[in-house]
Amino acid sequence: MDLTWSAAEEEFRADVRSWLELQLAAWRERHDERILSGDTAAGFAQHLDWERTLFDAGYAVVSWPEAFGGRGASRWEWLIFEEEYYRAGGPQRVTQNGIFLLAPTIFEFGSAEQQAHVLPRMAAGEDLWCQGWSEPDAGSDLASLSCRATRDDRRGGWVLDGQKTWTTRGAFCTHLFGLFRTDADSARHAGLTYLLVPLDLHGITVRGFGRLDGDEGFAEVFFDDAFVPDGAVPGGVVLGGVGQGWSVAMATTSSERGLTLRAPGRFTATADRLVDLYRQRAGGPGTADRGLRDQVVQGWMEAEAYRLQTLQTVTDDDEGRPAGAASSLVKLWWSELDLRLHETALDLLGPEAELDGPWSKGWQFALSGPIYAGTNEIQRNIAAERVLGLPRK
C-alpha cells in the first residue's frame, strides 16, 4: 500500500482546509456563535444552513459525480475531506442518513430516473431523508418487522400501515426510506420491499420525542392507511424491486457499519483533541496517573490503526474485494473506540466533566454507538458466523 499522498491530493487538502477555516467562522458568526445540537429543531435549521453552504461550494458530497451535485473526487480525496472536516471541528452532518446511507444504495440499486431525481435534491438539502427500519417489536430482529405496504393497482401505488420508531431526526425530515412487508403471507426476510416515502402524505403522522440527553432527535412514524403513489418519486418509490427489500437493506446497513458513516477523520480528530486535553492538564489532577496517560496514548494509536485499516479497506474495494460482513468488525472497532476516547477525556476532566459541554455531550452520544447501526452483540454474532464461519449454535 502506498501511504503517500500525491501533489494533487495535497493541493486538494490545502484548498479544503482554507475553505473550511473561512466558512466555518462565517457560519458561526451568522448564528452569533451559538451553535445548537443538530438534533434539536432550532439547531437542525442552523445545520441545514451549513449544509447549503457546503453544497454551494461543491463540498456537500465531494465523491459524487458533478451531475448529482458532487465534484467527482476520488475516495481517497473523500477521506482527506473528512480528515480536514473533523480537524476543523466541522459540525455534525444532519443530512448524513441520506448522503451516507441511502445514497450508496441508490447508486447501487436505483434506476437512472431515481438517481437523477433523488440524488441532486438530497445533495442540496432540499429533500431530507430519515431511516425507517426499527419498529416497536423489531429492533435487532429486524426480519420480524410488521409494517405493511399493500399494492393498490387501481390507484397506482402502495397503502402503508404500521409504525416505525427510533427514527433519527425524523421530525425534521421530509422523506423516509425503509422496509415494508409487501407480501402479507411472507415471513422473516422474504416478501419485504425497500420503499422511498415522502412524509407529508395524508395518513402519515410523525411524532418527535426526546432522547436521554434532552435533544428532540428521535421520532415515531405512524402509517395509517397512507397512500403512496408510484409517482411520488420519479422512477418509482420501490428501490431494487418488489420483494427484494432485505438484500437492498443489507447494502444500506453495510454502509452504516462500514466506511461511509464513520470516516476515520472523526476519531483521529477526537484522539488529537484528547492529547491536547492531556497536555493542557499536564501536572494537574489525573495526569500523574500513568494508567491514564497510557490510555491517552492507546486511544491515539487505536484511532491511527483505524485510519490505516480504512486505507486498506478502500484499497481492497478498489481492487474488487468489498468488505461485506467484515463491516461488522469495523463497526465494533469505531463504536468501542469512540466510547474509550470519551471515557478517558472524562477521567482527565474529573468532576469538571459535569460542566464541560463538548466532551460530556460527546460521551453521551458515544454511549449509543454500540446500539445503533445494529447492536454490538449482533455484530459479534455476524462476525462469528459469517466472517469466522463458526456454527450458529
Q: Which residues pair with 39 in a beta bridge?
A: none
CA atoms of 268 and 306, how far apart (whole Å):
9
Does 177 participate in binding ligand FAD (rule CB under 6 A)? no
Give the interface size with ligand FAD as a residue count (CB under 6 A): 18
Does 255 participate in binding ligand FAD (rule CB under 6 A)? no
Task: Give me the DSSP letters along 179-196.
Answer: EEE--TT--TTTTEEEEE
**What 8-state DSSP symbol labels residue 144?**
G
Closer residue to ligand FAD, CB minimum distance, 116 or 143: 143
Does 38 participate in binding ligand FAD (rule CB under 6 A)? no
Tell me if 262 sits within 8 A of 231, measured CB to CB: no
- Cell numbers of 320, please? 474488487
Tell me if 159 sits within 8 A of 194, measured CB to CB: no
Tell me if 382 sits within 8 A of 325, measured CB to CB: yes
**What 8-state DSSP symbol labels residue 124?**
T
The sign of the torsion formed by the CA atoms of 307, 258, 219, 366 equals negative
In the complex, minimum distance from the CB of residue 252 to ligand FAD, in angstroms, rounded to a whole number: 10
Does 222 participate in binding ligand FAD (rule CB under 6 A)? no
Closer residue to ligand FAD, CB minimum distance, 24 or 257: 257
Q: How far is CA 25 from the centre of its chain?
A: 25
Task: Name the residue type at position 44.
Answer: F
In the complex, minimum distance from the CB of residue 197 to ligand FAD, in angstroms, rounded to a whole number: 13
CA atoms of 277 and 296, how far apart (whole Å):
10
Binding-site member from 40, 105, 168, 328 for ligand FAD (CB under 6 A): 168
- Residue 160 burial (10 A CB sphere; 0-12, 13-18, 19+): buried
Closer residue to ligand FAD, CB minimum distance, 73 or 179: 179
Binding-site member from 58, 139, 203, 208 for ligand FAD (CB under 6 A): 139
CA atoms of 259 and 256, how far apart (whole Å):
7
Residue nearest to ligand FAD (CB): 139
List of residues 6+ apart from 131 with CB closer than 8 A = 97, 101, 102, 167, 168, 176, 177, 178, 252
In the complex, minimum distance from the CB of residue 220 to ligand FAD, in angstroms, rounded to a whole number: 11
Does 131 participate in binding ligand FAD (rule CB under 6 A)? yes
In the complex, minimum distance from the CB of residue 116 to ligand FAD, in angstroms, rounded to a whole number: 26
- Cell numbers of 91, please? 459540525
Binding-site member from 104, 120, 125, 132 for ligand FAD (CB under 6 A): 132
- Coil, strand or helix at 355: coil
Does 245 participate in binding ligand FAD (rule CB under 6 A)? no
Does 289 participate in binding ligand FAD (rule CB under 6 A)? no
In the complex, minimum distance from the CB of residue 354 to ligand FAD, in angstroms, rounded to a whole number: 22
In the complex, minimum distance from the CB of residue 357 to ligand FAD, in angstroms, rounded to a whole number: 19
Nearest to 76 by CA among 265, 294, 252, 224: 265
Q: What are phi and psi of 225, to 5 degrees?
A: 60, 40
Stretch that binds ligand FAD, among 36-44, 126-134, 233-241, 336-344 (CB under 6 A): 126-134
Mind telling me the catalytic residues?
256
Closer residue to ligand FAD, CB minimum distance, 132 or 235: 132
Stretch that binds ligand FAD, among 53-61, 116-124, 164-172, 194-202 (CB under 6 A): 164-172
Does 140 participate in binding ligand FAD (rule CB under 6 A)? yes
Site for ligand FAD, residues 327 to 386, rule: CB under 6 A: 368, 371-372, 374-375, 377-378, 381
Name the residues that contact ligand FAD, by CB under 6 A: 130-134, 139-140, 166-168, 368, 371-372, 374-375, 377-378, 381
